[in-house]
Amino acid sequence: AGSDEPAPVTETDVTKVVLLINGNLGDRSFFDSAEVGFNQLVEDYAGKVEVKIIEMGFDNSKWEPGLIDASEAGYDVIVVGTWQMQELLEDIAPQYPDNNYIIFDTVANPEITNVYSMVYKQNECAFLAGAVAASVAGNEPIGFLGGMDILVINDFLVGYIEGAQSVNPDVQVKISYIGDFNDSAKGKEMALAQYQSGVAIGFNVAGQAGLGQIDAAAEVNKLAIGVDSDQEALFRDMGEDAKADLIATSALKEVGNSLYRAIEMHMDGTLVYGEAEALGLAEGAVGYVKSQWIIDNGYADMVDELVVKIAAGDIVVSSANGLTTEELTTLRDAVK
């Protein structure tokens, strides 16, 4: 009986972790990165950690049962991600005070003592992307191809614009949202539209749909910047070196690293539940790919310098947090 739920944990020396994905794996960035981190963890701590990953799909109404199930199954740590899970977790975590929860990419109510939160300063890595883009473009406009008009994406956008402005205060940014994270053909078309209206280099923040930008770049022989994971490596994997060569760098959001670190701390007993951390360049939770291109074209020093300044707090990058639609529109119009 009870085969429809994992057996309760009996041994105490194995840390049982579950990752609930409110969506599906295969995004090649966010959730996949989490998976990679966990896989690394299991490899490094063989026999000490067990990890189960559950995909809950995209239907919001299925997430609550998933979280309750996991909460009742006796895991040592229950990991969820994104703002979309936050309110659910705030609802459910207090009902299971003996459980430990980790939520990433958003901050849960700090009054809940069994939840550890971490957010990523994606605006910081986007700042680097913006700086590179503006340097490359000179007086030409740069592009931003977002998946959807949502906070995380706009946080990238804000950082990107600021980074670009730090190089060229008059920079012009062409901004499009695909409206979808899957339709890479559409992503390609929109990226092409940007390139054709003069954009010298584009930054895609749109999951798989954003990969269309790389294809577009190859078509017009212009440059692109990837996101989340190393997209240059991805294209080399696919055997598409020509395309890979056009990816100047990628802005990294190291979800996997941060989760690895958090679970490690949990096992050491150093993770403080009830706390929230904002992880940025300083913590190595976001970053950039120091690609051959960056080195060859002599941007490495400039970017590294920016990294140091941001990590040290000498440069404070703005965030999209709390901006209204109107404020965002104003911001976007200002760089049109």
Partner 1 sequence: MSSIIDIIGTSEFWYSVIRVTTPILFAALGALISDSAGVINIALEGSMLWSAFAGVVFSAWFDSAWIGLLAAIIIGGLVGLMLAYFALNLKTDIILSAIALNLMAAGGTIFLLFVVSGDRGISSSLDSRVLPKLFTGLADNVPIIGPVIFGHNVLTYVAFVLVFVTWFFMFKTPMGLRLRAVGENFHAADSVGISVKKIQYQALVLSGIMAGLGGAFMSMGYVSWFSQNMTAGRGFIALAAKAMGGVSPIGTMIASLFFGFASALANYEAEISVPAEFVKMIPYIFTIVGLVVYASKKQSDVKRARQKQAEAATSSKGGE
Partner 2 sequence: MIKKLDRLRRFEMIRTLAAVGLALGIAFLLILFTSEQPIDALRAFILGPISKFRYFGNVLELMIPLLFTGLAVSVMFSANQFNLISEGAFFVGALGSSWIATNFLLPAGIHPVVGILVAGLIGAVVAMIPAILKLKWNADVLVSSLMLNYILMFLGFYFLNYHLRDPQAGDMASFKFPDSARLMKILPGTRVHIGLIVAILAVILIYLFMFKTRWGYEIRMVGKNESFAKYSGMNVFRVIIVSQMVGGFLAGLGGGIEMLGMYTRFKYKTLPGFGWDGVIVAILAKNNPALVPVGAFFLAYLRIGADIMSRSTDVSSQLVGIIQGVVIILVAAEHFMSKRKNRIIYEESMADLSAVKEAK
Q: Which residues bind partner 2 (CB under 8 A)?
A: 2-6, 24, 54-62, 64-66, 68-69, 82-84, 86-87, 105-106, 148-152, 179-180, 321-325, 327
Compute the distance between CA of residue 146 and CA of residue 203 in angstroms, rounded to an integer.
8
Residue 193 structure tokens? 């539209």
Structure tokens belonging to residue 324: 């209204």
When CB distances are held under 5 to 8 angstroms depending on the partner's kind, the choice from partner 1, partner 2, none that residue 68 binds is partner 2
Interface positions with partner 1 (CB under 8 A): 24-28, 32, 143, 149, 174-177, 179-180, 182-186, 188-190, 192-194, 196-197, 208, 211-212, 215, 234, 237-240, 243
Which does residue 190 touch among partner 1, partner 2, none (CB within 5 to 8 A, set by kind)?
partner 1
Closest CA to 150 of 106, 213, 193, 194: 106
CA distance 184 to 187: 5
- Contact of 88 with 61, CB cutoff 8 Å: no
Distance CA 113, CA 318 (A): 29
Nearest residue (CB) to partner 1, 118 versus 192: 192
Per partner kind, with CB cut-offs from 5 to 8 A, the member of partner 1, partner 2, none near residue 221 is none
Whichever of 185 and 316 has its CB closer to partner 1, that residue is 185
Question: Shortest approach of partner 1 to residue 285 CB, angstroms?
Answer: 23
Q: Which residue has the tokens 């957010």?
A: 119
Give min distance, CB of 64 to partner 2, in A: 7
H/E stretch holding 117 reads: strand 115-120
Residue 10: count other Cβ atoms within 10 Å of its Cβ: 7
User: Which among 179, 165, 234 has a CA at the least distance from the CA of 209?
Assistant: 179
83 binds, among partner 1, partner 2, none (CB under 5 to 8 A by kind): partner 2
**Which partner from the list partner 2, partner 1, none does 234 bind, CB cut-off 5 to 8 Å by kind?**
partner 1
- Out of partner 2, partner 1, none, which partner does residue 60 contact, by CB within 5 to 8 A per kind? partner 2
Closest CB 161 distance from partner 2, rounded Å = 18
Rounded least distance, CB 255 to partner 1, Å: 15
Least separation, in Å, of the C-beta of 336 and partner 1? 8
213 or 257: CB nearest partner 1: 213
- The alpha-helical segments, DSSP class H, found in the chain are 30-44, 63-72, 83-92, 122-137, 151-167, 184-196, 207-210, 212-220, 231-237, 241-244, 255-268, 292-296, 300-312, 325-334
